[in-house]
Structure 1
Amino acid sequence: MLVACYPSIPVDPQPDPEKRFEITSPVEVYLSTVDQTHLFTKVEDASVFTKGQAPTSGFDVRINPNIKYQTIVGSGASFTDSSAFLINQVLSNEDRDQLMIKLFDREEGIGLSFIRQPMGASDFARDFYTYNDVPKGQTDETLQYFSIDHDRVDIIPLLQQALRINPDLKIMASPWSAPGWMKTTDSTVGGQLKPQYYPVYGEYFAKFIQAYKDEGIDIYAITPQNEPLYVPVHYPGLGMNAQQQTNFIKNGLVPAFQKANIDTKILVYDHNWDRKDYPLDILKNIPDLVDGVAWHVYGGQVTAMSEVKREFPDHDVYFTEASGGEWVPPFEQAFLGEIKTGIDVFRNHSKTYVLWNFALDENNGPVVPGFGRSTVRGMVTVNQQTGELTYNLDYYALAHFSKFTQPNAIRIDSTKAEGNYTSVAFLNPDQTVNLVVYNMSNQSRNALIHLDDQTIVIPMAAKAVATVTFKIQEKPE
């Protein structure tokens, strides 16, 4: 956790002393088109020109490595109980292993490097559970019956496999509900956390982190509550206003972490862009106890993340959930929506871009009993009847951001023109650039990508998305 959190750096950084750069490697382009003839497909379409010799017809994207923003942690999704069951038990061993490589391996897959794990059941679970369930009417204030045995069946083996494939993987965790006996409803559904249980619930988090560490899984960050301003009536949830979250962090979570020598990051809020007052209230009250803010896509404007960052520049921004689903028609609208969201969240200082379920079945489930019909789409679909595995548009959308963005990459400046095109660029530790550019026009045209005295020209179909990667070096003076 942070030890001091007073504003010290501007959100919009000043450029480094002006350095000039040049491209020192072949330019690789991976293209997706809305007719699906290309789905993150490598194409040999890039030409590099010196200044003055390049075509002038097209849209201009300017990259400036002298202007640096946030360090990137990664992109990914969640092994919900449902996802983990489908991947670990329904898929054949061969298909499971191939899927895991295609998700997490940087050479043979798309190199996902961030996972957000539910702590207990979410809506996408086969049943209701936490790590400390006791019969209704009973309590367990010593956490004698705490156990992560549920996760040892499917979730933990998959996390361990993912870490073997990508040791740079970071894992955060968020509960949908505290154990029912700690709540006003004595149920994982509805209700609020009783203040008398703040200390023991803090210990519950600490036990979870320690138990996972014993399995070789470090928990990088937690949030106190998933979507604390929404209390569902048919799946696990818990209402927690900003004052309650502040009190729980101060009187439960932080003391438990300090007692157990846990340095897992604490991120507040974990809900939509439309209530920036919530994280602001917490940051104003306990800035030195928390590390950042987690955000979801389902309301408000993405600029809320930058507005909070501007007031608290020493606190990091994490974008932690954007689910795909039937409410946005595939392919074109849904795919381009996820591309635009990814670009926008990174341009608004997020260190992560996280979707929701890694896998769901042919009925968009499984879901908890009583949930009803799900309209959510996973990154992949696993058919429970046939065992067939299908890669969905969400997989290819995340590929554009993840495959060539290394851990500890830094976002660098790149231009956009609203309604015309948009882009986001990253500079990796090995000095390769990963640029994601989206031609928002209904017309095919060239992307003219300018880096000092050089211009990369890439023909792009209408509504096409390209990942462009190349190595640069500083020009000698």
Structure 2
Amino acid sequence: MEKHHYLRVFIIMIVLSSCNMENKKITFEVYETSARGNKLTEITNFSSLENKAVITLKPEQTLQTITGFGGAFTESSAYLLNQLSQDNRNKILQAYFGKDGARYSLTRTHMNSCDFSLTNYSYTPVENDTTLEHFTIKEDMDDLIPMIKDALDVSEDGFKIFASPWTAVPWMKDNKKWVGGKLLPEYYDTWALFFSKYVDAYKKEGIDIWGFTVENEPHGNGNNWESMHFTPEEMTDFVQNHLGPKLEADGKGDLKILGYDQNREGLKEWVDVMYKDEASSKYYDGTAIHWYESTYDYFPEALQYAHKKAPDKYLIQTEACVDSEVPKWKDDAWYWSKEATDWGWDWAPEDQKHLHPKYVPVYRYARDIIGCLNNWVDGWVDWNMVLNKQGGPNWFKNWCVAPVIVDPETNDVYFTPIYYTLAHFSKYIRPNAKVIGLENSDEELMVTASQNPDGSIAIVIFNETVIPKSIHLILKDKSKDKSAEFSINPQAIQTIIIPNV
């Protein structure tokens, strides 16, 4: 009997050990976009390769809270949607906002016209109308507002919208022009009222505004299209003494105000002024940034500095695109090739030329978003959602690339590889997710990870090399570590979902 007892105990121990071994394996899903042709394709067959990277997830180490990912509603995009068939219009909106699409959660739009408008216009056309009695958003009624409303109807989770002015109407500025110049101090209160009126007008159309950037690119844009200049001190004066108090007085104190809204090299100068003291910081909810300083550098030191200066405030990437390029039509290979250039390729100052080499469009997006997430950025917003084969319409002929390109003449739609690259983040990393700590043994891979509110973990891996790699994934757990084995193709982006951790 004693031998049988020991034998029974031994068998039970083997069974329990076997169960524990099974529990250590991670259940996961892998979705890949690659130069080989995968487009957010689920991958289930993996190779075991000599090149093996070890990625260790540390969910107990939580970093910033995600605000969202998305793109911009522009008049150009909205106008183009109205030129397409209803089926293709719906197809694009579903692709961006539907439950099976990219599920955009954070979006931008422009106040008054911008370069991606059909012409110059303002909501305040009557000169010297300081009380804005004639304020009107009629210019947005045909295209822009219908696009936003239709997107809201498509989105099951909803999304945040922040608005940005490129310029005040010329009669409020010192140079009396759409381009360049500064807002005259005697119109600071009128301009603050403009923001409040805008919120009310859009609210009347059933559209809630989440927040603002104070001014798109306050350093200007080389005197090309709509712009209005602020120094850090001037913008902070306007926010501290005019915009913030006005919104508060009008019962709109919950609207978010993001300062700066230009390239990252200027961050230190701006956050030092914006967050100088309690008074200057009071009405700023965060800092907005663009990526046009470089085609490859995401400026981690600047991002970290901005976070440390105001750790409890938003740090949101608010605009990015493949700029100064005519889109390549139905040529996926171009988006994976080192062919794109930007404005800096042609006329950046000599000491900045090195920041603007030719680049791979997909790489630029993947590298920048992962780099941002790993350096305290909590939101990332692309530029136009839809453009035509020319890279417009744009009244200044400032052609750019969008994730979705259309040909209204033939009613044709092209989802570029950039669309799928963005979806790797927006679809799977949801608002209020927490970026988590990780270790990555392979310097050739870029990796970021976030834990969603539902407990799932989304890991994004970017392999820009021409070598496939095996991945040994370790999930640190309080009771026991768990692991998974898979591989990533060359020139590929993967999102790995671990459900219900």
Interval of TM-score (by shorter of Structure 1 and Structure 2): 0.7 to 0.9
What displacement does 1:260 show?
0.9
Once residues 275 and 139 of structure 1 are traced to their aligned partners in structure 2, the CA distance between those partners, rounded to angstroms, is 34
Q: Does the 8 A contact of 1:411 with 1:426 survive in 2?
A: yes
How far off is 1:416 after superposition? 3.8
Do 2:32 and 2:42's aligned partners in 1 also have CA atoms closer than 8 Å?
yes
Amino acid in the other structure paired with 2:250:
A
Which whole-Å CA distance do the structure 2 matches of 1:421 and 1:169 have between them? 31
| Kept in 2: contact 1:122–1:176 (CA 8 A) | yes
Per-residue CA distance 1:97-137 (angstroms, 9 max, x = gap): 1211111113x211111111111211111000121123xxx
Q: Is the 8 A contact 1:27 1:46 kept in 2?
A: no
Task: Report the structure, 1 or 2, having the larger helix content.
Answer: 2
1:38 equivalent to 2:27? Answer: no
Aligned equivalents of 2:146 and 2:463: distance in 1?
40
Name the CA distance, whole Å, in 1 between partners of 2:292 and 2:247. Answer: 31
Q: Which amino acid aligns with 2:494?
A: A
Unaligned runs of 5+ in 1: 1-21, 48-53
The answer on 1:361 being equivalent to 2:392 is no
Matched, 1:156 2:145: yes
Q: Is residue 440–residue 463 contact of structure 1 (8 Å, CA) maintained in 2?
A: yes
Task: Confirm or deny: 8 A CA contact 2:66 2:433 kept in the other structure.
Answer: yes
8 Å contact 2:25–2:482 — kept in the other structure? no
**Dislocated runs of 4+, deviation >4 Å:** 22-25, 54-57, 326-329
User: Which of 96, 105, 115 lines up with 2:98 in the alignment?
Assistant: 105
**SS at the partner of 1:353?**
strand
Partner of 1:266: 257
Percent identity, aligned pairs only, is 30
Deviation string 1:7-47 (CA, Å, 9 cap, x unpaired) is xxxxxxxxxxxxxxx78974111111123x21211111369
Question: Are 1:29 and 2:30 matched, yes or no?
Answer: yes
CA deviation after TM superposition for structure 1 residue 158, in Å:
1.5
Give the letter for the 2:72 counterpart. S
Contact conserved, 1:29 with 1:42, CA < 8 A, in 2?
A: yes
Note if 1:204 corresponds to 2:194: yes
Q: Which amino acid aligns with 1:226?
A: N
Amino acid at match of 1:74: G
Q: 2:405 aligns to what? A: 381
CA contact (8 A) 2:363 2:464 kept: no
1:331 to 327, 333, 336: 336
- Report deviation, 1:463: 2.3
- Aligned: 1:187 with 2:177: yes
Match status 1:116 vs 2:108: yes
| 1:282 corresponds to | 274
Give the RMSD, CA atoms, in angstroms: 2.0
Deviations 1:306-333 (A, max 9, x none): 1111122122211111112466962241
TM-score (structure 2 length as normaliser): 0.83
Q: Which position in structure 1 is the counterpart of 2:379?
A: 352
Equivalent in the alignment of 1:12 = none
How far did residue 202 of structure 1 move?
0.2
Select between 71-80 and 297-306 the one with higher mean Cα deviation.
297-306
Deviations 1:389-420 (A, max 9, x none): 11112211111101112221111112346741
**Shift of residue 233, structure 1, vs aligned partner:** 2.6
Alpha-carbon distance between aligned partners in 2 of 1:182 and 1:64, rounded to the nearest angstrom: 53
Aligned to 1:304: 302
Distance 1:429 1:81 in 2: 34
* Structure (1 or 2) with the larger CA radius of gyration: 2
Provide the C-alpha distance between the structure 2 equivalents of 1:296 and 1:325, rounded to a whole number of angstroms: 12
Letter in 1 for 2:336: F
Q: Give the counterpart letter for 1:425 in structure 2.
A: A
Q: Write out per-residue CA displacement over residues 299-356 of structure 1, whole angstroms, 9 at most, x where no aligned residue.
A: 1624312111112212221111111246696224111211111101111111111111
- Note the C-alpha offset of 1:465: 1.2
Q: Tell me by how many angstroms 1:55 deviates.
A: 8.6
SS of 1:153's equivalent in the other structure is coil
